[in-house]
Amino acid sequence: RTKINLEIGRVLTLLQNNGYAYAKKEEVKVANIFSTNPNIANKVDVELFFNTGELYYFGTTNVKIAKNKYDITQSYIKRSLEYKEGDTYSRRKMESSQRKILSNAIIESASFDIDSNSSGDKLDINVNISIRNKYEITPEVVGYMIGNRFYGGLGVSFYDRFFLNGSRVFNISLRGLANSVKYNRLENTAQ
């Protein structure tokens, strides 16, 4: 039964990645074979039935950005899409587009839904985006071994997750380190 369910999942994935967005399993027929022939005595025939539905293509992609206080444009989000309007529908392309969008540090969440008002053989896609704070200040407690001496200290880091209005992260840190009154350091890094 487990192998049959894995095969059903494999076939459905194959159909949904090749245009059949609403493909589903209809029924499974398992027939025992009764025979005195030892080669087929303990065998069963398995028939899988699927309803593929219609062949669909990607339609318009509508991007909605909640609380867009940093003026992120729809074209910035659409650059990360793995599909174009008119391509054959593929669930795998939608999922890889979602992962690519989420790789931007400013994006907190992204969900893709098929628009229920889609008509014909085009499936319109709704992309709902929520963004996180662009700026973050983080306190740090650090410890380093430098020159065979242990240095402990405190620091602060500043992050800009949408640096120069792109998918770049700017980070600057300032740390004060001390081993003793005689040995201390100040460290500054920027990335």
Rounded to two decimals, what is the model's pTM? 0.75
Contact between residue 177 and residue 144 where contact means Cβ atoms under 8 Å apart: yes
What's the pLDDT score for residue 35?
A: 66
- Residue 138 to residue 172: CA distance in whole angstroms: 11
Cα–Cα distance list, 34 to 1, 66, 127, 144 (Å):
20, 63, 54, 74
Least confident among 30-39, 60-69, 152-161: 30-39
Cα dihedral angle (180, 183, 186, 187), rounded to 10 degrees?
Answer: -100
Q: What is the mean pLDDT of the chain?
A: 91
Q: Which of 66, 186, 54 is nearest to 123 (CA)?
A: 54
Residue 103 has pLDDT above 70, yes or no: yes
What's the pLDDT score for residue 34?
A: 67
Looking at residues 87-108, what average pLDDT do you find?
Answer: 94
Helix (H) or strand (E) holding 12: helix 2-16
Residue 149 has pLDDT above 70, yes or no: yes
